[in-house]
Amino acid sequence: MQKKNISIDYGIVIILFLFFVISLIAVYSGSGQYAQTEPFFFVLRQVVWYVVGILVMIGAAYFDYELLERWALPLYLSGIFLLVLVHFFGTTKNGSQRWIHLGVFDLQPSEFVKIFLILYLAVLLKKYGKSQLDLKASLVLTGKILLVTMVPFVFVFIQPDLGSSLIILVIALTLIIVSHISYKVILMLITAFGACLAFLVFTFTYLNNVFEKLLKPHQLERIYGWLNPGEYASNFGYQLYQARMGIGSGQLTGNGFNQGQQVQQGKIPEAHTDFIFAVIGEEFGFLGASILVLLYFLLIYRIIRVAFQSETFFGVYICVGVVALIAFQVFQNIGMTIGVMPITGITLPLVSYGGSALLTNMLAIGIVFSVQIRSSKEYLFREKAL
């Protein structure tokens, strides 16, 4: 039997290396207000997280992803168990109970639940093969997917973590859209989503007292600060107002590394985590921000290519779930920094400082590598046995 050659997508490897370099530069510049006595404190920790993340990615890449099919349900249930632990015994920071303290670091289970959800939903969807489902079968499958999705969604939402709960929903909806579920069911879901959005807009505009009961106080503050950053520049909208000021001052080429006034004067809170895009926009301008966005497009494109090469439905759905995971994080983080989207706790993948989020994204990319290594020719939505 001829041994199959192992091929790695070196395009993704190069892109990851560039993200690593950008991350260290931006974290160093953005964390100056927090690490004045130890300027390399956050950078060194980010290097450690990247090293661990690379090891996790390599381990995932050389682990046969098809074996994950039998582990998908246990992993999903273990993720729900961790969310229950967080709910009752989790560590609270900034009004949110999201972490489990493990001595050396705090683990955020909601990050890893996203991967477990992708795997389990991929298992559910691949069982139906390439046949277009009728309305009844589509409703049954959609019901299963929504049930599986709503359990972690509720636990994450009440932490509260609106950002991660939205990612969970986006992953599920994206997988439904690319599956063989009837377009009538997909249209029903889109209509339901539009109705919910219209209801929120209506209550905010005409029934403000009802709207305020739907969200927690700090979430309301973010909504008001997002809609009127200038009016609330001294309180609710301070972070967004300062971030937009910084990005605007960067203009075409930026103010230079470590020369951003808004960032270096400490006017942008969490500049090395949630608002790291403001650091890049202010110090490296439109060109620097455009290069960063281009790298994300290239990464997503390469993952989509892996999906086209996959010989199994399981591999295809995994890649689609990872694309949804990364794309929405990028869209939401950059969107909230420039005022297009409301502020949430979603970090910029592979760039923002932090351990759990970085490990999650590296693990996801490692599984994509596993799909790519074990694929050969370009078969989209086709089992290799066919």
Residue 330 lies inside a defined structural domain of this protein: yes
Judge if pTM exceeds 0.85: yes
pLDDT bracket for residue 72 (50, 70, 90): very high
Q: What is the mean pLDDT of residues 324-333?
A: 95
Q: What would the pLDDT profile of 193-223 be if each residue is shown by its tens digit? A: 889 889 888 888 888 787 777 777 777 777 8
Residue 190 lies inside a defined structural domain of this protein: no
Q: What is the mean pLDDT of residues 226-252?
A: 84
pLDDT computed for residue 17 by the predictor: 97
Residue 204 lies inside a defined structural domain of this protein: no
Contacts 24+ apart (CB under 8 A), 135-140: 135/182, 135/184, 135/185, 138/181, 138/182, 138/184, 138/185, 139/185
pLDDT computed for residue 3 by the predictor: 45
Q: Name the residue with higher pLDDT: 292 or 342.
A: 292
Beta-carbon contacts of 338 under 8 Å, excluding residues fewer than 6 positions away, are: 243, 244, 247, 277
On the question of pLDDT at 304 being above 90, the answer is yes
The answer to whether 174 and 324 have CB atoms below 8 angstroms apart is yes
Mean residue pLDDT across the chain: 87
On the question of pLDDT at 367 being above 70, the answer is yes
Q: Which of 185-189, 214-218, 234-238, 379-383 is modeled with the greatest confidence? A: 185-189
Residue 193 lies inside a defined structural domain of this protein: no
* Type of residue at 160: P
Q: What would the pLDDT profile of 10-67 be if each residue is shown by its tens digit? A: 999 999 999 999 999 999 998 877 766 788 889 999 999 999 999 999 999 999 999 9
Residue-number span of the structural domain to which 304 is assigned = 10-181+215-373
Residue 240 lies inside a defined structural domain of this protein: yes
Residue 55 lies inside a defined structural domain of this protein: yes
Beta bridge partners of 169: none
Residue 231 lies inside a defined structural domain of this protein: yes
pLDDT computed for residue 6 by the predictor: 59
On the question of pLDDT at 169 being above 90, the answer is yes
pLDDT computed for residue 374 by the predictor: 85
On the question of pLDDT at 102 being above 90, the answer is no
Number of structural domains the chain divides into = 1
pLDDT computed for residue 381 by the predictor: 47
Lowest-pLDDT range of 20-29, 207-216, 246-255, 320-329: 207-216
Kind of pairing, strands 106-107 and 91-93? unpaired
How many angstroms separate the Cα of 249 from the Cα of each of 96, 109, 237, 255, 267?
Answer: 33, 37, 18, 8, 14
Residue 295 lies inside a defined structural domain of this protein: yes
